[in-house]
A and B are shown apart, each in its own frame.
Chain A
Amino acid sequence: MLEVRDLSKKFGGLEVSRGVSLDVAPGERRVLLGPNGAGKTTLFNLIAGTLKPDCGTIRLDGSDITGMTVNQRARRGLARSFQKNNLFEGLSVRDNLALAVATGEGRTGSLLACAHDSAATLTQLAEIAAQVGLSAHLDWPVAHCSYGVRRQLEIGLALATRPRLLLLDEPTSGIGPEGVAAFNALIASLPRHLAMIIIEHDLDLAFSIADRISVLSEGVVVFEGTPETTRHSRQVRELYLGAFDD
């Protein structure tokens, strides 16, 4: 599904990605761990196309997407959520989701019809809203929503394009234990053919949702394995010293 080979990225003299390689299988759920500043978000930006790598290649379903723009990659089934909420601020939750659904379907160009009001869009919108727990908030202006609701919408926007590969950047940051439980349930409810990479700091959550775990440190993948082997890895334990014990 996704093959990342030897990606490197420098910001001035700072090497933020140093030869990162990563393979994600179709339907795989990969959790990306790593301390602050390890280069996790930068790796997402490289995969999504927001940043161009200095060298290395990215393949999606076998084809090289390294030279493609952000929107071309999205059209090929890649979706992402942002570490910092990145919503359509002046609009309602409904209009936010409708934009995402219609854009995901490529229905953006008609000068006469409005895809946002079509039955197909409304059905999908309702489905996504139910999945991320926003059914009761559809008419709210985003600006009036609580942080937790906005965080759910951030994920909803990424899901709404019906991606095949989903990148979630710290989806549970700042939402409290109830939110974490809801997120866990959401991931469990998503179709198994959807591949994901999730940046997560909560280790318990990581172990419960991941098929495999990669650990990034100082721009290098220092460990990769199943949740079970990760749990017992000395390397990981040193990075997250005191964060968990067994």
Chain B
Amino acid sequence: MFYQTRAKNLTVLLVLGGLALYAVYGGYFAREIVVEIALLAMLAIALDLVAGYGGMISLCHGALFGIGAYLFGGLTALVGTPVWLATLAALAGTALFGWAVGAVTAGIGGIFFIMATLAFGQMAYVIVFEWRALGGDDGLAGIPRTDLAGIGLDTGDSLTFALLSLAALALSYTIAAIALRSSFGRTLTGIHANEERMRALGLNVRRHKAAAFALSAAIAGAAGLLAAQHTQYISPEYLVWTVSGEALIVVILGGIGTLAGPLVGAVVFVALEHVVARFTDYWHLVIGILLIAAVMAGGRGLYGEIERLLAPGPGTGKGGDGA
């Protein structure tokens, strides 16, 4: 069961606060990194919702991220849809796709579930890649950012955009936390713990899984549409399955089934990517070693270690909230 504990509060506030300070006092490069972390963390939160709490290890979250980006990019750059409407359409469209994935895969377990989500992701990738109007391999440019001049914000400014990305991350975490704390989230945890029993108690498991996947997809899509606004250019690279793999690495590294862990995982992942890559080409090796350490240390990842430091006691340091 999910509880927004003191350790989670502290972790989330430290990560958000630290990143905000880094964005404010760092230069342009620092702000780019902050955006990268914030969007990766949003994607990881979306994945943790279904994987850590619902037991649905998805390999299509990269595709959901890409679908959000392409729906937003396509509508604004090609159709000329207003940004606010394109945002709503991108969120709704990604949620719908996620709902379909959840509904179709609800009866599938284990490795076959992972393969089925991978197939959905590849399908989306191929469609985007082959769709000439979307630019195919060349990608799609000319994507606008949200215009917030009305409230005195210039989203073209790197600091403003970095802080807005952090706000979006905070909002995503809050939505996920509220959903997990609700009847909906408790029920999802119940499905993870014992699907057959939930059915025997009267739950329509397929419908619930589909709804959870839709919510998760909407958060992943939000990250994607912000990424499209950030670079103002998108390519099918977003939908490649390795993006899903990276998201899963971030979740496991940070602590699967902890919700706060994905934030920590995203910070460490992006930091290693940039810092370690400066010294050696083998930064994936470093990530790999960390990943093994995280799994060996009880499966609660980096967040598990933070929890042990902040709130030592029984019940910490082993397994996720969802298990």
Q: Which A residues contact B (CB, under 8 angstroms)?
A: 48, 50, 69-71, 74-75, 79-80, 86-91, 95, 98-100, 102-104, 106-116, 157, 160-161
Chain B nearest CB: distance from A153 CB in Å? 11
Asked if B205 and A102 sit within 8 Å, CB to CB, the answer is no
Chain A CB within 8 A of B31 CB: no
A112–B178 touching, CB < 8 Å: yes
A176, B200: Cα distance in complex, Å: 27
User: Among the listed B179, B193, B202, which residue makes an inter-chain contact with A103, where contact means beta carbons less than 8 Å apart?
Assistant: B202
**Which of chain A's residues has its CB closest to B207's CB?**
A109
| Stretch in B88-96, B182-190, B294-302 with 4+ CB within 8 Å of A | B182-190
Residue of B189, B193, B200, B205 contacting most chain A CB atoms (<10 Å): B200
Is the CB–CB distance between A98 and B186 below 8 Å?
yes
Contact A86 B194 (CB under 8 A): yes
| B212-256 contact mask (Cβ, 8 Å, vs A): 1 or 0 | 000100000000000000000000000000000000000000000
Residue B197 lies at the interface, judged by CB distance under 8 Å to chain A? yes
Instruction: Count chain B CB atoms within 10 A of each CB in A88, A107, A157 and give the residue with the most.
Output: A88
Question: A116 → chain B, closest Cβ, in Å?
Answer: 5
Q: Does B274 contact A (CB under 8 A)?
A: no
B200 and A70 contacting across the interface, CB-CB below 8 Å: yes
The answer on a CB contact under 8 Å between B199 and A74 is yes
Instruction: Give the distance to chain B from A44, nearest Cβ to Cβ, in Å.
Output: 11
Assess A114 versus B201: contact at CB under 8 Å? Given A87-B194, A90-B193: no
Q: Which of A71, A75, A99 contacts B186 (CB 8 A)?
A: A99
Q: A71-B204, A90-B323, A99-B190 are in contact. Are A108 and B183 (CB under 8 A)?
A: yes
Contact with A along B59-80 (1 / 0, CB 8 A): 0000000000000000000000
Q: In chain A, what residue has the closest Cβ to B320?
A: A90
The 4 closest A-B pairs by CB, nearest first: A74-B202, A88-B193, A103-B201, A108-B187
A155 to chain B: closest CB distance in Å? 13
A113 touches B190 (CB 8 A): no
For residue B271, CB closer than 8 A to chain A, the reply is: no
| Least Cβ–Cβ distance between B202 and chain A, in angstroms | 4
Please give me the residue from chain B that is nearest to A94 by CB atom: B1
